[in-house]
Amino acid sequence: MNQSNNNNLNEPQKRKYVLSRRLDRAFLELYNIYAFVARFFKEVFLPPYEFKEIIKQCYEVGVRSLPLVSVTAFIIGIVFTNQSRPSLADFGATALLPALISVAIIRAIGPLVTAIITSGRVGSSIGAEIGSMRVTEQIDAMEVSATNPFKFLVVSRVLATTFMIPALTMYTTLLALLGGYLNVHQNEQTTLITFFSQVFEAITFLDIVASSVKSVLFGFTIGMVGCYKGYNSSKGTEGVGKAANTSVVTAMFLIFVEELLVMQVINAVRGI
């Protein structure tokens, strides 16, 4: 019936009809996202508490991400130092290299790189895992057996990413600074104590707070996006692949948006 009515419309009417349908789907999706997030904040405070599953997911998110995060962070510290030295050398300011490395890594590079790496690894894994459980009706079976699948699957994973991304960010920052120190020491013969003295002189308590806030937001976003895409996936194996892919893309986009917003707020606070 809708198809026949659509065929009777002229071209402008068809465009309006298509636009209207897209807007309806967009607002429905926004409502579904709101309901999903609201349900999380409701379920997280209600018993039973899945401590074993939370610990398991913390291990999956944190410990299993260490090798990739370690190598990436160390290389980033060396590369960033190498790229920054020529610019400072032109002004005879290579002594400021430790301070520059500190500000760049702690304020931006550490949280952002950690979030992007874990988004690619953890976000896709969560989306694919929960998506496969949805299309194979395992989630429906959990509901029939009086188990709360939302609390067991979603709450545990979102809490794990929210807890572990800040911890991984601190680890990433430390390794990146060590990589920068090795490069500085090789070229300027700077001692470890001198390097880290200049590092901590260049940052403020507000920088540490901003980095921590961003890490928590990034972790929550990665977990929530992966769980939402997987929990609402459909169309069999095609839906599982789409859930894994869109989890990564959407999470990365939101991470950059959050980075921009938090940076604006912190700069406003810093200017007060």
What tens digit of pLDDT does each residue of 87-113 get? 888 887 778 888 889 988 998 889 999
Q: Torsion-angle region of residue 9: left (phi > 0), alpha (psi -120 to 50) or beta?
A: beta
Each residue's pLDDT expressed in tens, for the chain with a length of 272 residues: 455 555 566 677 777 777 778 888 888 888 988 999 999 999 988 888 889 999 999 999 999 999 999 999 999 999 988 888 888 888 877 788 888 899 889 988 899 999 999 998 898 899 889 988 888 888 888 878 877 889 999 999 999 999 999 999 999 999 999 999 998 888 888 888 988 898 888 888 888 999 999 999 999 999 999 999 988 887 777 778 888 888 899 999 999 999 999 989 888 888 76
The CA distance from 235 to 157, in Å, is 23
DSSP class of residue 48? P
Q: What's residue 259's pLDDT?
A: 92
Of 93, 96, 55, nearest to 198 (Cα)? 96
Q: Torsion-angle region of residue 235: left (phi > 0), alpha (psi -120 to 50) or beta?
A: left
CB atoms within 10 A of CB 4: 7
Q: What's residue 220's pLDDT?
A: 95
CA angle, residues 134, 137, 141, in degrees to nearest 5 = 115
pTM score > 0.95 for this model? no
Q: What's residue 1's pLDDT?
A: 45
Q: What is the Cβ-side half-sphere exposure of residue 233, based on CA atoms within 13 angstroms?
A: 33
With a CB cutoff of 8 Å and minimum separation 6, the contacts of 36 are: 224, 228, 231, 232
Of 31, 23, 24, nearest to 228 (Cα)? 31
